[in-house]
A = this chain, B = another copy of it.
Amino acid sequence: MGKKKKVTFSDIAKFTNFSKTTISRYFNDPDSITPENQQIISDALVKLNYQENKVARILANGKTEFIGIIIPNLYLHYYSEMLNQILCTYEQYGYKFLVFIGNENENTERQYIQELMAYQIEGLIVLSHTIPSKELADLKIPIVAIEREDLYISSVNTDNYSGARQAVQLLASHHCQIMLHINSPTKENIPAYGRISGFLDYCRENQIPHEMFIEDLGINDEDLHQKFTCILDQIQMKYPDKKKGIFISNDTYASVFLNLLIRRYGKLPDDFYLVGFDNSPISRQAVIPISTVGQQINKIAQESMKLLVGLMDSQKKRNPAPLSEPVHKTIPPLLILRDTTEKNIF
């Protein structure tokens, strides 16, 4: 049995004694043909078992309805949940997504972008960090960046700065006497730097004693564990009698730190108050659920698509403006109170 050829408009046209044009119109503007003829065509479609071919349609009308996504990885919950939310917007906008995993390699990502361009994507969502926004802007297609350097392109980010301030404010409201911030080295031009500046600004403005532990915390578990043990020792040495408010740059780290405390003291000591960042599952699943600055991933995804669709629509006009100035949107974080700060609950 050979491979059966696909049914095309020609076949339907012959079968129904209409022209291909009429068949085309049946799909794109049904009301322009009589109801009876609609029915005839409709019947023919099922009788011939027609399957539409959008590739041909693309070539003819230029609209691929493809959006490219370049995302660093999916093992961090933040990224996989963001992708989840973005993909789900298909229901709303109908755009299909071509997804590439960045893998932190600049040239590989350039190749991915070429591939995406070859498939005539109408827009691009970038979460990976490697390629400078200047270069991305040169692609001359609508682009939205999420939580990365975004000088030359539009973007949607969590308000990291205000999130950090809220975290410290929460710790201050529990009368913590010394504020500690644990983070890895962060460039000033990416949104996450707001977690550092927000911490510093709030402490300074309110004259609260504070210290930062900025360290490359490694990737593997042992490294992480060792670094945190070291940091904990320092903290206990320097501030033995003070009520400590600790703001940690993400929930994964916060959980490691919490586990360290639990295993050392059998419980979260009374003079330790913890706040993480992200509201990732681990913050809920921890032995003692961790208070955290929650990123509203669904809203970020929504806003990104809204922004991107807007840009793409304006490109479809007869006189597409030369991709106007970048727009930067900001989504407020949500402070989530759990047991590492709300101890009165016990």
Contact = CB atoms under 8 A, between A and B. Distances in A.
Interface of A: 1-3, 51-56, 58-59, 64, 73-75, 77, 80-81, 83-84, 87-88, 90-91, 96-101, 103, 108, 115, 117-120, 221, 252, 255-256, 259, 262-263, 266-267, 281-282, 284-288, 315, 318-320, 322
22 contacts: A1-B319, A2-B318, A54-B119, A54-B120, A74-B74, A74-B81, A74-B84, A75-B77, A75-B281, A80-B83, A87-B99, A87-B100, A87-B101, A90-B100, A96-B98, A221-B284, A252-B285, A255-B285, A259-B285, A262-B287, A263-B287, A263-B288
Q: Quick one: copies of this chain in the complex? A: 2
Contacts of A1: 319, 322
Contact of A117 (B51, B119, B322): B51
A244 to B, nearest CB: 20
Nearest to A221: B284
Given A88-B101, A101-B88, A287-B263, A74 B80 contact: yes
A282 B259 CA distance: 12
A279 to B, nearest CB: 12
B51 A59 contact: no
